Amino acid sequence: MILLTAIGFGLLAGIAQAKYHQTTWQLPQLQHAWIVAVFILPQVLAFYLPVTRSNLSVAVVSACLIFSQVGLLLFCLINWRQPGMIILAAGLLLNLVVIVGNGGFMPLSTDTAARLVPAQTFANMKVGSRVSLSSKDILLQPETIIFPWLSDQFIPPDWFPYKFAFSIGDVFIGLGAFLLLSLPISNVSPSQERKF
Amino acid sequence: MKNSAYNFASSLSKIQKHHIQLFFMTLTIVMLVLGAGAPVDFGGVSK
């Protein structure tokens, strides 16, 4: 949700900036986009497809996540010249480090979870288990988390109606995606330019 | 008349090509960002 919002704002900012300057909004020149399509597949199987995610073991799911993120990091490094891509890659690397350090899942502390969900829901959550089949998070006691400052520790203010927790890596990823879509690119070929 | 039809077809194909490029570029970025990020989402539950 937070990440899709960053993409939406990036698209709007890019188009608005092009209109304001009466110039062209240019598409990022992403090389080897097939890498994303290939390396996202393990995550689709592990987290998104109900048929597969309920049948995969925890070890396989964590392996899928790590393998997928390593591939996506490779894609970011290939395209490092794009505006925002280094920031996005830094966020991905931070997430990958904390995921690898905590057994293949993003840690969510019991303290953070208790602030997010109703007491009854929290009572049903089990320490050491995944938050849900569609989630990359695992619920852990704060003192057992490795690199706790990289975990999903940030939450929106109480008045915000949508409840989620995110990491510093997610912030970098959102910012990188925003810059990728909103900043103009100087070395674009004329065939990929488009006036809005 | 023929020229107008040609121009229309030409601009239509350019628009479609651009839209297809835009769609795939956006899809790639969405997949990249969703794959890279790991926020946990509890939806609209209230505490």
Summarize pLDDT for A45-88 with one digit per residue, the tens: 999 999 999 999 999 999 999 999 999 999 999 999 999 999 99
User: What's the pLDDT score for residue A94?
Assistant: 97
The C-alpha of A61 sits at a distance from chain B's nearest C-alpha, in angstroms, of 13
- Token pair listed for A7: 């993409």
Backbone φ and ψ for A185, nearest 5 degrees, come out as -115, 130
Please report which helix (H) or strand (E) contains residue B22, including its range: helix B2-36
Residue-level length of chain B: 47
CA distance A19 to chain B (A): 17
Predicted pLDDT of residue B16: 78
Task: Please give, rounded to a whole number of angstroms, the shortest distance from the CA of A71 to a CA of chain B.
Answer: 10
Under 8 Å between Cβ of A80 and B8: no
Location of structure tokens 């057992």: A144
Q: Per-residue confidence at A194, pLDDT binned at 50, 70, 90? A: very low
The pLDDT confidence band at residue A111, using thresholds 50, 70 and 90, is: very high
pLDDT digits (tens, 9 = 90+) for A130-182: 999 999 999 999 999 999 999 999 998 888 888 899 999 999 999 999 999 88
Question: Which pLDDT belongs to residue A185?
Answer: 53
State pTM to two decimals. Answer: 0.86
Is B30's CB within 8 Å of A76's CB? no
Could you identify the residue written with the tokens 């020149």?
A: A29
What pLDDT was estimated at residue A162?
Answer: 85
What whole-number distance in Å separates Cα of residue A163 and Cα of residue A183? 30
Query: Strand, helix or coil at B40?
Result: strand
**Pairwise CA distance, residues A193 & B12, whole Å:** 16
Task: Look at residue A8 and tell me whether its pLDDT is greater than 60.
Answer: yes
**pLDDT band at A120; cut points 50, 70, 90:** confident
Average pLDDT, integer, range A84-110: 96
Q: Which two tokens stand for residue A16?
A: 């608005």
In tens, the pLDDT along A12-48 reads: 998 888 888 887 777 788 999 999 999 999 999 999 9
- Report the distance separating Cα A34 and Cα A175, nearest Å: 23
* Cβ–Cβ gap B29/A180 under 8 Å: yes
Q: Name residues 6-45 of chain B within 8 A of A (Cβ).
A: 18, 21-22, 24-26, 28-45
Give the CA angle between residues A25, A29, A30 to the nearest 5°: 135
Residue A105 reports pLDDT greater than 90:
yes
Of B25, B31, B36, the CB nearest to A69: B36
Global ipTM: 0.88
What are the pLDDT digits (tens) for B2-47?
Answer: 677 777 666 666 667 778 888 888 899 999 999 999 888 876 554 5
Higher per-residue pLDDT: B7 or A122? A122
Q: What is the pLDDT of residue A23?
A: 78
| A2, A164 Cβ separation under 8 angstroms | yes
| Interchain proximity A108–B26, CB inside 8 Å | no
Q: What is the pLDDT at residue A14? A: 87
Between CA B30 and CA B36 the distance in angstroms is: 10
Q: How far is CA A15 from the centre of its chain?
A: 23
pLDDT at A196: 40
